[in-house]
């Protein structure tokens, strides 16, 4: 499909609609706030760019670009903070570390293998594979989160997850 523009102003407006700047982002500590019911270590911030991610309903967030095939956000994980074990059944998920260090756990049959990722390290977790995150460092960890679906299904939390049974209300 070729897009047509009547004027240079139309093209300029279209171009501007494709750009998201750091200055227009904000740390959303509430979208995953329900997870703090399981402990303060689960407090972390999502910083959205494309789409809503998998746990929130942010389609009306006009600061983001609507997802056409993936979601992209940053996650801010304070020292000691965790992303609980959970599974995305419908989409792969990738993490790319921008600042700090993130310990990623891959779970299977009651076992966990952990790896620490640092600056410009990346992991891609296939759909259906449970994973967890933790910041064991003394500074904030900031990393990109890419989920390979336009609107991912809400992830599930297995019995081994601290989030198992925690409700969103």
pLDDT digits (tens, 9 = 90+) for 21-70: 999 988 989 887 777 788 888 898 999 999 877 666 666 677 788 888 89
Q: Name the DSSP class of 156.
A: B
Q: What is the CATH number of the domain that holds 107?
A: 2.60.120.10
- Is there a domain that residue 104 lies in? yes
pLDDT of residue 152: 67
pTM of the full structure: 0.82
Residue with tokens 């959205």: 48
1 has pLDDT over 60: no
User: Which token pair is 136?
Assistant: 């064991």
Mean pLDDT of the chain: 86
**Number of domains comprising the chain:** 1
- Is there a domain that residue 1 lies in? no
- Is there a domain that residue 18 lies in? no
Distance CA 141, CA 111 (A): 25
Residue 104 burial by Cβ neighbours in a 10 Å radius (0-12, 13-18, 19+): buried
150 has pLDDT over 70: yes
Q: What percent of the chain has pLDDT over 90?
A: 48
Q: Which residues constitute the domain of residue 108?
A: 27-147
- Is there a domain that residue 12 lies in? no
CB atoms within 10 A of CB 59: 12
User: Which token pair is 150?
Assistant: 């336009």
- Is there a domain that residue 92 lies in? yes
User: Which token pair is 129?
Assistant: 């594979």
Residue, of 140 and 84, whose pLDDT is higher:
140
Distance CA 148, CA 92 (A): 5
């Amino acid at each position: 499909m070729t897009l047509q523009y009547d004027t240079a102003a139309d093209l300029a407006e279209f171009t501007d609609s494709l750009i998201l700047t750091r200055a227009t982002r904000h740390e959303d500590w509430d979208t995953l706030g329900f997870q703090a019911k399981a402990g303060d270590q689960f407090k972390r911030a999502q910083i959205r760019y494309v789409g809503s991610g998998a746990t929130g309903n942010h389609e009306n967030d006009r600061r983001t670009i609507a997802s056409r095939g993936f979601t992209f956000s940053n996650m801010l994980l304070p020292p000691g903070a965790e992303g609980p074990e959970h599974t995305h059944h419908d989409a792969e998920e990738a993490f790319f570390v921008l600042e700090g260090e993130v310990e990623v756990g891959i779970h299977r049959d009651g076992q966990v293998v952990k790896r620490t990722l640092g600056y410009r390290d990346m992991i891609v977790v296939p759909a259906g594979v449970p994973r967890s995150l933790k910041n064991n460092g003394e500074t904030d960890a900031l990393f990109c989160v890419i989920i390979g679906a336009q609107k991912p299904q809400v992830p599930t939390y297995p019995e081994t997850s601290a989030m198992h049974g925690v409700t969103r209300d």
